[in-house]
Amino acid sequence: MSIKDKQFDAIVIGSGGGGAAAAWGLAYKGLSVLLLEAGQRFDPYQDYRLSTAQWEQSAFPEKSKSKSFYRIAELQKLTRQWGSLRSWNHISGPMIKDDRRLGWKYSHVRGLGGSTLHFTGEAHRLNKAAMQMHSRFGVAADWPLQYQDLEIWYQLAELIVGVSGSDVDPHRPRKRPHPLPPHSASFASQTVQQGLEKLGLSWTPNSLAVLPKAYDGRPGCNYCNNCNRGCPRKDKGSADVTFLHKAEKTERCDIQTGKTVLNIESDANKITAVVYADEQGNRYRSSAKTVIVACGAVQTPRLLLLSNTVQQEGLANESGLVGKNFMETLFWVSSGLHPHSIGSQRGLPSDSICWDYNSPDAIKNIIGGCRFTLATAEADLLGPINYAQRVVKGFGRQHKADMRKQYGNVLSVGSIGECLPHTDSYIGLDPDHLDEHGLPLAKIHSRLDTLALNRMRFMADKCREILQASGVTQLIEEYGSYDTFNSTHVFGTCRMGADPQQSVVNANCQSHRWKNLFIVDASVFPSSGGGESPSLTIQALAIRSAFFIAEQMKRKQL
């Protein structure tokens, strides 16, 4: 084992939305930063193969260690009561044949830029009403800061990422307009808008980290609809082409890929060093005045639980809440065939959005909101392979003829809703399954409670209603979280709060106990919001923390 001693102002662990934004914020403020990323660097021009004939045969490309290892504990039994929430396809039938919920995947990317590499690009601010869930509804926990405390940091994140969108949104008041104007709606999106209007619902341009025109050295989007396979043009504002690009330009940020952090060391009062390994198993130790953890709501609690201190099982776990309050992605997607030619392969995955049910009290008799968007890209109904397999029935000459008639005619509408924490959903360690370094894997425990299922039923019913109003005559496929654990947005496992007994970090994302330890990913979220994508809020919090750290260092308080 070789160990190198290095000294930095800050070590950032993880380079997704939060880690990248923190690294940029610290470097921008003049601090020296070591950024440790377990995965590899992706080259948009080389790695994202949307110009090759095989583009549809694989999703986002995989590289060495581009997925972390984890386990999913046995999930809940499925019951007839929620039969309308089972996933199905009109050709292959029920997707889950058993009567138990399937633990499919924690959908993420380990690589420089993290899951922003495959994200859709939604750049949402949280609904301000969704930040006080405990005081208003007695569920989850209140955020220890208000929307207005975050507003300027949202602005800064939007400016760096290059966010486009509509400036009219009463739930997310803005002091400045979006840096970029909204995208024009695709023809598919316009078709759904007609349906929503019939239902008296709104459809507004979505806030997106996708450029409608050239900005900051990057070109405008050309509407290929495949953000989730990786953007080869760099018009999508993933963390690698935005925050990390700028962080590297400061020449104060040392980015190390292929470095897996194994342990965070501490003495009686502070974090002292980070121990990590490269892909060959060589070990290193680096130290810094402060350590920022940003590995996401599954791997961050794992790392903390692995980093025991003399006094405590699990670093920063004085409250016992590291890994608790896990919140997952509660989602539903319905797809159907429109009788007319739509060309729904074209556009942006979710150029418009319906926020009408986003507030926590917007759904009658159900606490927690949700939102609706076009979801044809989310459902991966963008190319002929998926049409042939999942949309067009049968085989032979008729199948070929129907392919020509139906290709591009599918409309999908999806919904993501609030997920509230409870004691049965949490992240633990699995001592029976170890990684290559002999360390226990993270184990995901998940249960959807009745409130979540009622919310999902509302989401599913509304998706079907929207499709029908949009002219869809035949549903062909539906899927959601009820029978399959498949989460992209995960939250809550190192909750932020004012009370050290009830939270892991404070409003600055600083550990209550370890003043030079910070957490800047969605694990700090006290509540998930009503379907908002979390990346922009993560980035706003991360920049805020970075600037706080810089200020503290300036005052010699860190």
Q: Does 437 bind another protein (CB under 8 A)?
A: no
Strand partners, 484: 102
Q: What is the DSSP string of 129-192?
A: GGGBHHHHHSSS-B-SS-HHHHHHHHHHHHHHHT-B--S--TTS--SS--SBPPPPPPHHHHHH
Q: Which range in 167-175, 246-254, 368-376, 377-385 contacts another protein by CB under 8 A?
A: 377-385
- Which H or E run includes 479? strand 474-480
Cα-Cα-Cα-Cα dihedral sign, residues 539, 69, 511, 22: negative
Per CB under 8 A, does 54 bind another protein? yes
- Told to check if 52 binds another protein by CB under 8 A, we report yes
For position 186 contacting another protein by CB under 8 A, the verdict is: yes
Q: Which stretch binds another protein (CB under 8 A): 143-151, 167-175, 222-230, 516-524?
A: 222-230
Regarding 56 and contact with another protein (CB under 8 A), the answer is yes
Q: Does 219 bind another protein (CB under 8 A)?
A: no
Which of 234/464 has CB closer to another protein?
234
- Nearest distance in Å: CB 405, another protein: 7
Residue closer to another protein by CB (options 111, 314) is 111
Binding mask 332-361 for another protein (x = CB under 8 A): ---------xxx-xxxx-------------
Sign of the C-alpha dihedral, residues 454, 460, 463, 469?
A: negative
Among 30, 43, 57, 281, binds another protein (CB under 8 A): 57
Site for another protein in 389-418 (CB under 8 A): 389, 394-397, 399-401, 403-405, 407-408
Number of Cβ within a 10 Å radius of residue 281? 10
Exactly one of 40, 47, 50, 179 binds another protein (CB under 8 A); that residue is: 50
**From the CB of 347, what's the least distance to another protein, in Å?**
4
- Least distance CB 430 / another protein (angstroms): 24
- Asked whether the beta carbons of 350 and 236 are under 8 A apart, the reply is no
The residue among 54 and 450 lying less far from another protein, judged by its C-beta, is 54
Give yes or no for residue 450 binding another protein (CB under 8 A).
Answer: no
The DSSP 8-state label assigned to residue 338 in this structure reads: -
**Using rule CB under 8 A, residue 385 touches another protein:** yes
Query: Which lies closer to another protein via its Cβ, residue 10 or residue 210?
Result: 210
The residue from 387, 426, 491, 547 that contacts another protein (CB under 8 A) is: 387
Angle at 415 between CA 483 and CA 129, to 5 degrees: 115
- Which value, in Å, is the radius of gyration of the alpha carbons in the chain? 23
- State the DSSP string of 61-129: PP-TT-S--EEE---PBP-GGGGGG--EETTTEES--SSB-EEEEE----BTTGGGGTS--B-PPPPGG
383 touches another protein by CB under 8 A: yes
Q: Is the CB of 53 or the CB of 268 nearer to another protein?
A: 53
Q: Closest distance between another protein and the C-beta of residue 375, in Å? A: 16
Distance CA 522, CA 535 (A): 8
Between residues 60 and 147, which has the closer beta carbon with respect to another protein? 60
Which of residues 2, 5, 53, 200 is near another protein by CB under 8 A? 53
Task: Report the residue number, 183 or 462, with the smaller CB distance to another protein.
Answer: 183
Three-state secondary structure call for residue 35: strand
Cα atoms in the Cβ-side hemisphere of radius 13 Å centred on 458: 22
Look-up: residue for tokens 């591009």?
408
* Of residues 203 and 525, the one with the C-beta less far from another protein: 203
432 membership: H or E segment, kind and range: strand 426-434
What's the min distance (Å) between Cβ of 399 and another protein? 8
> 436, exposed or middle or buried, with CB in 10 Å at 0-12, 13-18, 19+?
exposed
Q: How many CA atoms lie within 13 A of 223 on its CB side?
A: 15
Residue 167 binds to another protein (criterion: CB under 8 A): no
Site string for another protein, 285-324 (x = CB under 8 A): ----------------------------------------
Binding range to another protein, per CB under 8 A, among 243-251, 314-322, 330-338, 381-389: 381-389
Q: Assess 225 for contact with another protein (CB under 8 A).
A: yes
Binding of another protein by 55 (CB under 8 A): yes
Residue 352 has φ and ψ, to the nearest 5°, of -135, 165
Sequence-ordered list of residues with C-beta below 8 angstroms from that of 184, at least 6 positions apart, any chain: 212, 351
Contact of 101 with 187, CB cutoff 8 Å: no
Task: State which of residues 7, 30, 58, 554 lies at the interface with another protein (CB under 8 A).
Answer: 58
CB 271 within 8 A of CB 519: no
- H helices, E strands: number in the chain: 11, 20
Residue nearer to another protein on the CB measure, 399 or 433: 399
3-state secondary structure of 254: strand
Residues that bind another protein (CB under 8 A): 50-58, 61-62, 92-93, 184-187, 190, 221-226, 232-233, 341-343, 345-348, 382-385, 387-389, 394-397, 399-401, 403-405, 407-408
